[in-house]
Structure 1
Amino acid sequence: MTDDVVLRYTRTYPLEVRDGFERLLALELPVLFDRRYGAIPPITEVRDQDGPWRTPGQTRTIVLADGGTLREELTAVESPTRFTYRISGITGPMKQLISSLEGAWTFEPAGTGVRIGWTWRVHPAGRLGRVAMPVFGRMWRGNARQAFDNIESLLVP
C-alpha cells in the first residue's frame, strides 16, 4: 500500500488548447502563485533557470515567502497536451510534510475551449506528513483555485 496522495484541480477556459498550453508554460511562477492560502506561502522568486522553461531536464529553484525552497525539474513537455515536473530538495516548513512530488499540467479540448488540469502526486514525509495530508490537501485545493483564478485573469481575453 502506498502513502502517496493525489491532488487534482481542473477548470475550463475559452482558449485554444495550444494557446493555453504555450501561455501557461511560459507564465512566471510568482505571478501565478502570488498569494498565500492557509499554510501554503506564495512564490516570491525563481532562481537558477537557464532560458525559457520548456526543455525536459531543465531545473530551477523556487523560493517561497516563508524562506523555503523547492528544486523543480521539468520531466516532460508534450505540446500541446501536457508538461510534467518533479519537486525535490524541499527546505523550510514544507519539508516536514512532503519528501517529494510529481506534478503535471494537462490541456484537453472542452467544447470550444480548453480544460486545464493540475495534478500533484505527493510523497508525504514520514508520519507527520501522512497525518497532515488531509488538511494539506484542502489547503492545496484552495491554493489551486487561486492559481486558476489568476490563469483566468491573465490568459483569458
Structure 2
Amino acid sequence: MFKLTQGWIGVLLVSLAGSVSAMESDEIQCLSASRSGLVDLPFPVDAEPLVSVTERLVIPLPVDEAYDRFKLFPLTQFMTGTEDLAGVARTHPLVGQDYLNTGERRAVCLKNGFGAVEELVDATPPGRFAYRVWAYNVPEAQGIEYADGEFLFKPVEQGTEITWNYSFSLKTDRFPGSFGAFGRWLFSKTFLESTWRGYMQLALHNFESSL
C-alpha cells in the first residue's frame, strides 16, 4: 500500500513541478508579467502633443532590398545600447511570431533587466515600418506614456534614404510632463536631443555596418 501511495505521490509531484515550470516559462521576467497578460494589455490611446526627434541614413541599396534587410535585422544587433542607455537583450513574441505584420506584438527585454511592450502598427513594404512602445518598467521612464517609432524608406540617387522618426508622449501627472510645454522642452533638451539621439545614431550605424 505504501509503495502504491508513494508512486502516486511521485507522479503528483512531477505533475506539479511541470505546472510550476510552465508558469515560470510563461512569465516575461523583465516585465514581471505573463504572456497572456501582456497580450491583453490595452493599446495606448493617442495623446498630443508629442516630443520628437529624427535621424537619417543613406545606404547604397535599392529601396526594396533596404526594406527587406532592415525588417529582418535582429533588434538585439540594432539597439546594442550606449553608456547611458541599455541595449536589447532579447525579445519575446506575444502576438504573431516574426514581428513582420501589422498588429504583431512583442515584449522587449533590456540588458539592465527591465523592459517594455512593442506593437507593429504599420508594415507597408517598401515604404514604412512603424511601431508603438509602452508599459515601460524602467525606473527612469516612468514619466513616459508611450513612444512611436517610424522608419521611412525613400529611393534616392545614392540608393535608399532611411528616415527614423521617434516621438514620445509624456504622462501629464508626472515630471516632466506635468510641467506642460516647459516640461516637454526640458525632456527634449536633456534627453531626446542628446542621450536618445546618440542611441538612435548608434543603432543606425549598427545596421549600416551589417550590410
Q: Is the 8 A contact 1:44 1:64 kept in 2?
A: yes
Distance across 1 between alignment mates of 2:83 and 2:200: 9
Matched, 1:127 2:175: yes
Q: Which residue number corresponds to residue 202 of structure 2?
A: 146
Match of 1:106 among 131, 152, 155: 152
Q: Is the 8 A contact 2:73 2:207 kept in 1?
A: no
Shift of 1:147: 0.8
**Percentage of matched positions with identical amino acids:** 24
Alignment of 1:85-100 (within 5 A): 85-100=131-146
Distance across 2 between alignment mates of 1:118 and 1:37: 21
Q: TM-score normalised to the size of structure 1?
A: 0.89
Q: Deviations over 1:97-153 (max 9, x none)?
A: 421011111100111310011111210233235343322111111111111111111
Q: TM-score normalised to the size of structure 2?
A: 0.68
Distance across 1 between alignment mates of 2:77 and 2:143: 25
Match of 2:87 among 11, 36, 42: 42
Measured at CA, do residues 37 and 143 of structure 1 come closer, stay the same or move farther in structure 2, by a change above 3 Å? farther
* Larger fraction in helix: 2
Q: Which residue number corresponds to residue 10 of structure 1?
A: 56
* Larger fraction in strand: 1
Shift of 1:37: 4.3
SS in 1 for 2:82: coil
Structure 1 gap segments, 5+ residues each: none
Structure 2 gap segments, 5+ residues each: 1-47, 178-182
Distance across 2 between alignment mates of 1:63 and 1:75: 20
Q: Which residue number corresponds to residue 58 of structure 1?
A: 104
Match of 2:162 among 107, 116, 136: 116
SS in 2 for 1:52: coil
Distance across 2 between alignment mates of 1:45 and 1:7: 25
Q: Which has the higher contact order (CA 8 A, sep 6+)?
A: 1
Q: Deviations over 1:26-60 (max 9, x none)?
A: 1111111113242x211111112542221111000
Distance across 2 between alignment mates of 1:128 and 1:37: 23
Larger Rg: 2
Q: Which residue number corresponds to residue 191 of structure 2?
A: 136
Q: Which residue number corresponds to residue 81 of structure 1?
A: 127
Measured at CA, do residues 143 and 81 of structure 1 come closer, stay the same or move farther in structure 2, by a change above 3 Å? same
Q: Over aligned residues, Cα RMSD in angstroms?
A: 1.6
Q: Deviations over 1:58-105 (max 9, x none)?
A: 000011122221100001111001111111111122432421011111
